[in-house]
């Protein structure tokens, strides 16, 4: 080795060490914060991924046989026209190009929008141009990920004609997402960057945003970058949703952690295959629901996975509303009907899912009559949903309770969506396998 190359090697090595120091060292309170924007995406944008985590649909490899979803419960369908997504901007590549990504604790693979190589058609300025990055590389077909049916990797991949590892899947509404798997760094600063991480590079897409997959899977951003904890505070939505509001996303230590209360994640061995269970999701043991002062008569059993995996309760930043399995949903609806049933719009259902709706002129009164809602967990930990956050204006003049039937999405899990995580710190402590909640004033963090 000559001096210059050994210097280079040393430099590389130090950079590498630096990173691992930052993200791995037990006693280093690594902490980096990013603005988190809550904004509305139209349904035909990438936000469809928000309704489903591991898309797990079909592969178009060789034959037309459908690969059955490994986790059918995640094959959400939704007809919402719009959904609120949480977006952060990450510096990707060398030199870094800022990429907007939807924060999704419910999915695994992260992907970015790459330029379409069509001459004369200028690519969207927000998309990533691989040719400008020195740290970009494609994942060759020989990579194990490109061999089908790797456990824990729910994206159908195949080798394309160019010997590139190609992924493609259909969302539940039939639209196709596809691209190549690549390796790229997230470059936070000159001295802080991740090693090259496996990402999807979406080529057939007009969308502005990518996805930051943050679930427990091996290939999520959190796992690949060896993030020990991350947290976010979802800002309060502004009136009619057209106004963006800003909260905060932390990688590493959150300075407010002392105020957090923790519950353990329920974890499931990979070997324990249950058809309706997503073992990679952040599953919590919910115990009950209170509306106003009244504890609803719902058996704790319906919030926990049964033998088939149905009933798992998931904290998901990528799903907008909260969804409950039939038995729990019926009890919530019964109580809402008891309190404000006379004002409810009969026969009106938003997005085939929200059916407790009211004319907006009554919304303040309805919220007052319903009162606050509390989601109850072990150790007395609670998520308090203020009465002002019970209703959402879904279209002009109509407000609905932000809770739907899981069945309407075709799933068997309970999901706590981002609508019910407003003004709340939610921390995912991966090292200690727990989730923390803390009161936040998220819109004022930045
Ligand atoms: C959504 O689809 C409609 C019609 O198919 C199209 O006009 C619109 O531009 C699309 N929006 C986005 C964000 O792709
Ligand atoms: C939404 O709010 C913005 C800002 O307050 C306002 O300019 C816009 O007209 C509103 N849109 C609707 C449909 O009410
Ligand atoms: C609670 O619900 C169960 C089953 O739905 C029912 O059998 C029981 O009587 C209810 N208890 C009360 C106090 O209403």
Q: Is 49 or 136 the better-scoring residue by pLDDT?
A: 136
pLDDT at 170: 56
Helices (H), 168-245: 221-224
Range with the poorest average pLDDT among 63-67, 76-80, 96-100: 63-67
Of the chain, the percentage scoring pLDDT greater than 90 comes to 51
Which pair of tokens denotes residue 433? 């396998």
| Mean of pLDDT values over 121-127 | 63
CA distance 73 to 280: 13
Ligand 1 centroid to residue 46 C-alpha, Å: 11
Ligand 1 centroid to residue 318 C-alpha, Å: 21
Q: 206 CB under 6 A from ligand 1?
A: yes
pLDDT at 175: 52
Ligand 3 centroid to residue 298 C-alpha, Å: 8
Does the structure show a pLDDT above 70 at 7? no
Residue of the nearest CA to atom 6 in ligand 2?
A: 242
- Nearest alpha carbon to residue 107 among 156, 77, 74, 67: 74
Catalytic-role residue among 207, 316, 392, 429 = 316
Residue of the nearest CA to atom 4 in ligand 2?
A: 243
Atom of ligand 1 nearest to the CA of 43: 1
Does the structure show a pLDDT above 50 at 48? no
Ligand 3 centroid to residue 331 C-alpha, Å: 10
Q: What is the DSSP letter of 376?
A: E
Domain boundaries defined on the chain: 3-251, 256-444
Query: Minimum-distance ligand to the CA of 240?
Result: 2
- The residue with tokens 């606050």 is 372
Cα-based torsion angle of the residue sequence 24, 26, 32, 33 in order, rounded to the nearest 10 degrees: 120
3-state secondary structure of 434: strand
Q: Is 104 a catalytic residue?
A: yes
Q: Are 78 and 171 in contact (CB under 8 A)?
A: no
Range with the poorest average pLDDT among 9-18, 227-236, 395-404: 9-18
The Cβ of residue 337 has, within 10 Å, a number of other Cβ atoms equal to 12
CATH assignment, 256-444: 2.40.70.10
User: pLDDT tens digits, residue range 389-412?
Assistant: 999 998 889 999 999 999 888 889
Which pair of tokens denotes residue 193? 């960057």
Does the structure show a pLDDT above 80 at 9? no
Confidence of residue 30 (pLDDT cuts 50, 70, 90): confident
Domain 3-251 has CATH 2.40.70.10: yes
Of the chain, the percentage scoring pLDDT greater than 70 comes to 74
Which pair of tokens denotes residue 183? 């390796």
Atom of ligand 2 nearest to the CA of 240: 1
User: pLDDT tens digits, residue range 177-215?
Assistant: 678 999 999 998 888 899 999 999 987 665 667 889 999
Which pair of tokens denotes residue 229? 């904890």
pLDDT at 158: 80
Q: Is 316 a catalytic residue?
A: yes
Q: 379 CB under 6 A from ligand 1?
A: no
Mutation test residue for ligand 2: of 237, 238, 239, 394, the one with most atoms within 8 Å of CB: 239
CA distance 219 to 350: 35
Ligand 2 centroid to residue 244 C-alpha, Å: 12
3-state secondary structure of 384: strand
Ligand 2 centroid to residue 404 C-alpha, Å: 26
3-state secondary structure of 11: helix
Does the structure show a pLDDT above 80 at 270? no
Atom of ligand 1 nearest to the CA of 44: 1
Does the structure show a pLDDT above 50 at 446? no
Which pair of tokens denotes residue 177? 């997402």
Residue of the nearest CA to atom 1 in ligand 2?
A: 240
- Say what the pTM is: 0.83
pLDDT at 127: 85
| Mean of pLDDT values over 248-260 | 95
* φ/ψ bin of 262: left (φ > 0), alpha (ψ from -120 to 50), beta (otherwise): beta
DSSP letter for each residue of 140-166: BTTSGGGSS--TT--S-EEE-TTSBEE
pLDDT at 70: 29
Q: 6 CB under 6 A from ligand 1?
A: no
Shared fold status for 3-251 and 256-444: yes
Q: Is 169 or 127 the better-scoring residue by pLDDT?
A: 127
CA distance 220 to 74: 16
User: pLDDT tens digits, residue range 335-393?
Assistant: 999 999 999 999 999 988 899 999 999 999 999 999 999 999 999 999 999 999 999 99
- CB-neighbour burial class of residue 240 (10 A; exposed 0-12, middle 13-18, buried 19+): exposed
CA distance 9 to 220: 28
Range with the poorest average pLDDT among 73-77, 366-370, 431-435: 73-77
pLDDT at 205: 64
What burial letters (b/e) apply to 289-325, b meaning 16+ CB within 10 Å?
Answer: bbbeeeeeebeeebbbbeeebbbbbbbbbbbbbbbbb
Confidence of residue 255 (pLDDT cuts 50, 70, 90): very high
Q: 124 CB under 6 A from ligand 1?
A: no
Q: 42 CB under 6 A from ligand 1?
A: yes
Q: What is the DSSP letter of 295?
A: E
> What is the chain's length?
446
Residue of the nearest CA to atom 11 in ligand 1?
A: 44
Residue of the nearest CA to atom 6 in ligand 1?
A: 44
pLDDT at 76: 46
CA distance 336 to 339: 5
pLDDT at 74: 39
CA distance 319 to 381: 22
């Amino acid at each position: 080795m000559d001096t210059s190359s050994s210097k280079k090697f040393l430099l590389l090595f130090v950079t590498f060490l630096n990173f691992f120091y930052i993200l791995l060292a037990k006693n280093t309170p690594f902490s980096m914060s990013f603005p988190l924007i809550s904004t509305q995406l139209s349904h035909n944008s990438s936000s469809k991924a928000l309704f489903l985590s591991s898309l797990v649909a079909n592969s178009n490899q060789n034959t037309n046989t459908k690969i059955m979803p490994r986790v059918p419960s995640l094959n959400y369908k939704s007809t919402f026209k719009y959904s609120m997504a949480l977006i952060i901007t990450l510096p990707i590549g060398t030199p870094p190009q800022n990429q907007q990504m939807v924060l999704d604790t419910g999915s695994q693979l992260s992907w970015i929008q790459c330029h379409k190589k069509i001459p004369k058609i200028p690519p969207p300025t927000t998309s990533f141009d691989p040719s400008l990055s020195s740290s970009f590389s494609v994942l060759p077909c020989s990579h194990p990920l490109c061999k089908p049916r790797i456990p824990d990797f729910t994206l159908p991949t195949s080798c394309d004609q160019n010997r590139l590892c190609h992924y493609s899947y259909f969302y539940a509404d039939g639209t196709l997402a596809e691209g190549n798997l690549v390796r790229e760094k997230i470059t936070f600063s000159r001295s802080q960057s991740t090693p090259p991480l496996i990402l999807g590079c979406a080529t057939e897409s007009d969308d502005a945003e990518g996805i930051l997959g943050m679930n427990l899977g091996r290939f999520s951003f959190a796992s690949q970058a060896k993030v020990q904890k991350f947290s976010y505070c979802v800002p309060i939505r502004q009136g009619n949703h057209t106004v963006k509001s800003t909260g905060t996303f932390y990688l590493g230590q959150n300075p407010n952690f002392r105020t957090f209360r923790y519950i353990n994640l329920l974890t499931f061995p990979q070997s324990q295959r249950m058809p309706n269970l997503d073992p990679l999701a952040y599953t919590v043991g919910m115990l009950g629901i209170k509306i106003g002062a009244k504890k609803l008569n719902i058996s704790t059993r319906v919030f926990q996975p049964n033998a088939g995996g149905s009933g798992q309760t998931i904290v998901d930043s990528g799903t907008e509303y909260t969804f409950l399995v039939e038995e729990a949903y019926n009890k919530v609806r019964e109580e809402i009907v008891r309190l404000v049933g006379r004002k409810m719009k009969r026969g009106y259902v938003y997005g085939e899912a929200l059916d407790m709706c009211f004319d907006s002129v009554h919304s303040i009164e309805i919220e007052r009559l319903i009162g606050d809602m509390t989601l109850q967990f072990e150790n007395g930990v609670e998520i308090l949903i203020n009465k002002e956050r019970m209703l959402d204006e879904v279209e002009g003049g109509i407000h609905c309770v932000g809770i739907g039937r899981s069945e309407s999405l075709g799933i068997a899990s309970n999901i706590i969506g981002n609508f019910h995580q407003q003004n709340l710190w939610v921390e995912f402590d991966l090292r200690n396998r727990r989730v923390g909640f803390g009161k936040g004033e998220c819109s004022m963090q930045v």
